[in-house]
Amino acid sequence: MSPGVEGEELDVLDSQERVRFEQLVLPHLDAAFNLARWILRGRNDAEDVAQEAMLRALRFFRGFHGGDVRAWLLQIVRNSCYTWLEKNRPMELSTEFDEELYPQPGVTPESLAIAGDNRERLTRALEGLPPRSREVLVLRELEGCSYKEIAAITSMPIGTVMSALARARQRLERALTQASAARNQEANREL
């Protein structure tokens, strides 16, 4: 076997890039999917968008010169998610400032109240939050990101991350409290 020099070199370069990508980026595929799933509120859409984001990551990978690879990837995933939302469900982004008036569709205290278990209740409550509250909670509580990492992923200053988290937690707590109030009401009516 005596492969030509040019072919060989290019091939090895490619393989090295690929191996580096496989070793550095692919292990964060779960993180990528999880973030997309929560921003988009659905597994099917998340699968499509995460796939697109991974491909984008592969294209930009040469421009990645070390640092926090998870934050780098999640930033790409997040941007892909918002681009997708703008195109497919712009309402979800525009109701941002009016979420008291227009909660995320399909999520009401009543629907939370009848949710079967803790997991379902929390899932619905989280999905009821505006996307920007949801994403900081997911990054912090599910992904275990530091404020610094969240700041890098969301392009927000660290101080803003802290207040966004505080607001998101209050909203989540309120949603759950309303849910249990509704549940109690329901229980009383049945008595």
The only residue of 110, 169, 182, 183 in contact with another protein, by rule CB under 8 A: 169
* Contact flag: residue 4 with another protein (CB under 8 A): yes
The only residue of 29, 93, 181, 187 in contact with another protein, by rule CB under 8 A: 29
The only residue of 39, 40, 54, 113 in contact with another protein, by rule CB under 8 A: 54
Kindly calculate the radius of gyration of the chain based on its CA atoms and give it in whole angstroms.
21
- CA pair distance 130, 39, nearest whole angstrom: 9
Place of tokens 């629907």: 111
* Contact flag: residue 181 with another protein (CB under 8 A): no
Looking at the Cβ atoms of 155 and 170, the one nearer to another protein is: 170
- Contact pattern for another protein over residues 104 through 143, marking x by CB under 8 A: --------------xx--xx--x----------x--xxx-
Min dist. Cβ of residue 21 to another protein (A): 8
- CA pair distance 60, 63, nearest whole angstrom: 5
- CA pair distance 112, 182, nearest whole angstrom: 9
List of residues 6+ apart from 160 with CB closer than 8 A: 151
Residue 123's Cβ-count burial label (10 Å; 0-12, 13-18, 19+) is: middle
* Contact flag: residue 151 with another protein (CB under 8 A): no
* Contact flag: residue 162 with another protein (CB under 8 A): yes
* Contact flag: residue 187 with another protein (CB under 8 A): no
* Cα angle for residues 136, 79, 150 (degrees, 5° grid): 30
- CA pair distance 159, 154, nearest whole angstrom: 12
CB 130 within 8 A of CB 96: yes
User: Under the rule (CB under 8 A), what is the footprint of another protein?
Assistant: 1-4, 6-8, 10-12, 14-19, 22-23, 26, 29-30, 32-34, 37-38, 43, 46-47, 50-51, 54-55, 58-63, 118-119, 122-123, 126, 137, 140-142, 146-147, 162-163, 165-166, 169-170, 172-173, 176
